[in-house]
Amino acid sequence: MYDGGIPFPNRTAVPSIINPAEGFNMKVLTFAATNSRKSINKQLVKYAATKLANAEIDYVEINDFDLPIYNIDLEEQYGIPKCAHAFQARIEEADVILVSFAEHNGNFTVAFKNLFDWMSRIGRNVYRDKPIVMLATSPGPGGGNTVLKLAETAAPFFSGKVVGSLSIPSFFDNFDVDRGKLTNGDLVEKLETVLNAFSSEPQAA
């Protein structure tokens, strides 16, 4: 297994950001599927996480998992990078997954697709049978709906159980960036309904 020192970087992940609430009843792996540090999908998923009462929020930045572009030759020579194993471990440790997808040309971001490709080489059960709520947003009226549908369709092939999804259109018309919250009441209600799907899922003891 590649552990650094050869031509490409491989940092380990930064520590989790944990919700300070007490009486946790589930651990939620939370991330935006993009490496843009100012991503609106990061703003959305962080806001969504605040709606989960009594949850331990393991917020992850995929920027902290540096990986080379997947190449079978690299895998054969060096093995699967430690960062891919580290992210896979975070999935394994979670009870549920909350993710927001950025859309690039109707598809996943290159950064997320590359991370996913590396993890799929560990095993095809990337999502480890975890319940998933999938979100997406964009500045325009499409709301990242194309990539959201793509993610929903693909998830079952990688042991993912999508229990809810929501596209937020026209992000800047519906989200107060300064206050970090949705301002559209209908969308807030829809988001809360989607997140409530987690409450019906059995959690680890």
| 77-107: pLDDT as tens digits | 999 999 999 999 999 999 999 999 999 999 9
CATH tag, 26-198 = 3.40.50.360
Q: 63 — alpha (psi -120 to 50), left (phi > 0) or beta?
A: alpha
pLDDT band for 201, please (50, 70, 90 cuts). Answer: low
Residue 145 pLDDT more than 50?
yes
Residue 3 pLDDT more than 70?
no
Q: What pLDDT shows up at residue 194? A: 98
pLDDT band for 199, please (50, 70, 90 cuts). Answer: confident
Closest CA to 145 of 153, 157, 154, 136: 136
Amino acid at 45: V
User: Could you state, in order of their start, the residue ranges of all structural domains in the chain?
Assistant: 26-198
Which of the 8 DSSP states describes residue 172? Answer: H
Residue 166 pLDDT more than 50?
yes
Span 116-139, pLDDT tens digits: 999 999 999 999 999 999 999 999
pLDDT band for 16, please (50, 70, 90 cuts). Answer: very low
Token pair recorded at residue 80: 């699967």
Amino acid at 163: V
Residue 204 pLDDT more than 70?
no
Cα gap 10→23, rounded to integer Å? 35
The phi and psi torsions of 69 (rounded to 5 degrees) equal -60, 135
- What global pTM score does this model have? 0.88
